[in-house]
Structure 1
Amino acid sequence: MMPDVELRHLVYFVTVAEERNFTRAAQRLRVVQSGVSAAVRALERELGAPLFERNSQRVLLTDAGAALLPEARATIDAAQAARDAVAEVRGGLRGTVRIGTLISVGFVDLPGLLGHFRAAHPAVDLRLRAAPTGSAGLAADLLDGELDVAFLSLSGRAPAGLSVRTLAAEPIVAVLPAAHPLAARDRLTLADLADEPFVDSPPGYGNRTEIDRGFAAAGLRRRVALEVADIATVRHYVREGLGVALIPRFSVPDEPALRILPVDARLRWTFAVATASARRPSAAVRALLDLIDAHRTGA
């Protein structure tokens, strides 16, 4: 880090970069907007380059800003690690843990987990957000430093740069309306389903990626007629005859209107918790991961 650059200026810069807006950044930092603008201008003067392109609609990083962003995050993380080390000696954790999660997953009682964490570490600020673009978006946010921890679904090998702990793995099954001609079968192949309209998650979601890879490996193509972000609601569309689905077994309860069949393909939905391997987890993040491990062991 440059010796004359203030850590506070880097924090303000990163917050503006993440929010893409000076007003929202000021609200998040709980300071006046003029203070954020002044800090960013001071940082630009110190570095001798503009960091943002500003207009009335949005704020975009310049090439210099994009180059600075990962270094600024690393510096902030290092400073936080130093504070964490002192806090641990003094007997209390502080800091912020930014968590991303899928919309609907029953394998982890996330409210209960975070409630236990808050009770044990009340000075840690927990920030939770649902995945706007599925697991692919969560993975990208981890790698970009916008999240510290993410609960996500990955298909195949984990992306480079992520440390992943698998929490659950479920077989993917076929779900059809009970009156569907294929419903009388005992099991199905992907070829049996290739000509059917599908109800599936949008691209970037772990379940969609796994199914797309399965069809591609079999040399088959399919048509996704409806895209549904919440996997728990897929079965409702299938029940109404709008398509068939390949989804994790946990997400579809037995009911008379649906037929659930095994599929002759090695398709599995994997649920995991991930962090960025290039960034040293803070003490608060490590404590959360330890609590997740304890809940998994006790499950």
Structure 2
Amino acid sequence: MNLHQFRFVQEAARRNLNLTEAAKALHTSQPGVSKAIIELEDELGVEIFTRHGKRLKRITEPGQAVLRSIEIILREVGNLKRIGEEYSRQDHGTLSIATTHTQARYVLPVPVARLRETYPQVHISLHQGAPDQVARMLLDETAEIGIATESLSGYAELVSLPCYEWQHVLVLPCAHPLARTDQRLSLEDLAREPLITYHPSFTGRTRIDQAFATRKLSPRIVLEAIDSDVIKTYVRLGLGIGIVAEMAVRDDPATDLVVRPLADLLGRNVARVAFKRGAYLRQFVLEFASMLGERLSPALIARALDGYATDFEL
């Protein structure tokens, strides 16, 4: 048995048992993938997949156990490579970050700049997507570190730690009746207005929906977006009032919009940083992660990855 066979089996499982797609991802031929899998099954004496003709239909029970072992073996091979890279070139390499648009646009520029100042030879590769996509990129090892508010704590294969708390804010034109700072806002006030906010899978939208549902209110959401600047643009055009993350307005010099905090109505959100469980992280990855939250440190992150800590109170 060899690593090529392990990678072929793993990729076939990742590609929903589609050998053609697995072959494309591995830059090889479909017959080559099929042959390698059969050879591994013959050597192990078990079927990893059941078949209908030449097509894979499902993963067998022993196949599930084989896949778990392959996952561990390939993860440790990756760790060995990273160990070699770190000790041969301490201040070189690539940091692959998976994150959402909001984090990439408003939160990461400062820590990325600080990392580049400390490690000028480190290349940054930034991958943006929905929170579930961020988690998948970590699991597939497309990225070493993921940052998002939604989803990351829901994967047993990931270790996630809280970075910081943040709240949603209301953005609305200066002339809007709800812009008066002496007026106490309620969820009923918001539910009566046309709302512009995030797509359901982004930037704490779950908390927004839960707040209204708890009060048995049905908000009138007229437009959804993944980009805070897009939401503000449509607010300016008069389509409605907006709910965005506070970091999207923190350094905004615009004076044509009023910003009102919503923590009392919607609660507070927690942005989290995540890593694949059992991964070996190079020193500059640990240092970058520690820049994302006041209570994060390389030592705490290392302990979490070793299984000694999983969370802490903000």
TM-score under structure 2 length normalisation = 0.70
Given the alignment, which residue of 154, 161, 164 partners 1:159? 154
C-alpha deviation, 1:234, in angstroms: 1.2
C-alpha deviation, 1:104, in angstroms: 3.3
Given the alignment, which residue of 204, 208, 213 partners 1:207? 204
| Aligned counterpart, 1:281 | 279
C-alpha deviation, 1:212, in angstroms: 1.5
| Aligned counterpart, 1:225 | 222
Report the secondary structure of 2:206's partner residue.
helix
Cα deviation digits, residues 125-180 of structure 1 (max 9, x gap):
x764321xx2244346546777542111148x943634333333323211123343
Report the secondary structure of 1:209's partner residue.
helix
Determine if the alignment matches structure 1 residue 80 to structure 2 residue 78. Answer: yes
Report the secondary structure of 2:154's partner residue.
coil
Q: Does the CA-based 8 Å contact 1:177-1:257 persist in structure 2?
A: yes
Q: Residues 90-109 of structure 1: matches in 2 within 5 Å?
A: 99-105=97-103, 106-109=106-109
Q: Give the distance between the partners of 2:248 and 2:219, measured in 1 at CA.
A: 22
Determine if the alignment matches structure 1 residue 239 to structure 2 residue 236. Answer: yes
Report the secondary structure of 1:74's partner residue.
helix
C-alpha deviation, 1:77, in angstroms: 0.9
| Aligned counterpart, 1:40 | 37
Q: Does the CA-based 8 Å contact 1:167-1:272 persist in structure 2?
A: yes
Q: Give the distance between the partners of 1:22 and 1:250, measured in 2 at CA.
A: 44
Task: Specify whether residues 259 and 60 from structure 1 end up closer, same or farther in structure 2 by C-alpha distance, changes over 3 A only.
Answer: farther
Range 139-148 or range 75-84, more displaced: 139-148
| Aligned counterpart, 1:14 | 10
C-alpha deviation, 1:76, in angstroms: 0.8
Identity %: 28
Name the Cα RMSD after superposition.
Answer: 4.0
Report the secondary structure of 1:174's partner residue.
strand
Task: Specify whether residues 78 and 52 from structure 1 end up closer, same or farther in structure 2 by C-alpha distance, changes over 3 A only.
Answer: farther
Q: In structure 2, give the amino acid aligned to 1:275.
A: F
Report the secondary structure of 1:265's partner residue.
helix
C-alpha deviation, 1:31, in angstroms: 4.4
Report the secondary structure of 1:150's partner residue.
strand
Q: Give the distance between the partners of 2:35 and 2:114, measured in 1 at CA.
A: 40
Report the secondary structure of 1:283's partner residue.
coil
Q: Give the distance between the partners of 1:271 and 1:111, measured in 2 at CA.
A: 17
Q: Give the distance between the partners of 1:70 and 1:93, measured in 2 at CA.
A: 33
Task: Specify whether residues 295 and 195 from structure 1 end up closer, same or farther in structure 2 by C-alpha distance, changes over 3 A only.
Answer: closer
Determine if the alignment matches structure 1 residue 270 to structure 2 residue 270. Answer: yes
Q: In structure 2, give the amino acid aligned to 1:267.
A: G
Cα deviation digits, residues 37-90 of structure 1 (max 9, x gap):
4323433444543638799xx987545666654442222112333444555555
Task: Give the unaligned 5+ runs of structure 1.
Answer: none
Report the secondary structure of 1:193's partner residue.
helix
Task: Specify whether residues 235 and 192 from structure 1 end up closer, same or farther in structure 2 by C-alpha distance, changes over 3 A only.
Answer: same
TM-score under structure 1 length normalisation = 0.73
Determine if the alignment matches structure 1 residue 49 to structure 2 residue 44. Answer: no
Report the secondary structure of 1:169's partner residue.
strand
C-alpha deviation, 1:208, in angstroms: 0.4
C-alpha deviation, 1:281, in angstroms: 1.8
C-alpha deviation, 1:108, in angstroms: 1.0
Task: Give the unaligned 5+ runs of structure 2.
Answer: 295-314
Q: Does the CA-based 8 Å contact 1:113-1:292 persist in structure 2?
A: no
Report the secondary structure of 2:73's partner residue.
helix
Q: Give the distance between the partners of 2:114 and 2:38, measured in 1 at CA.
A: 41
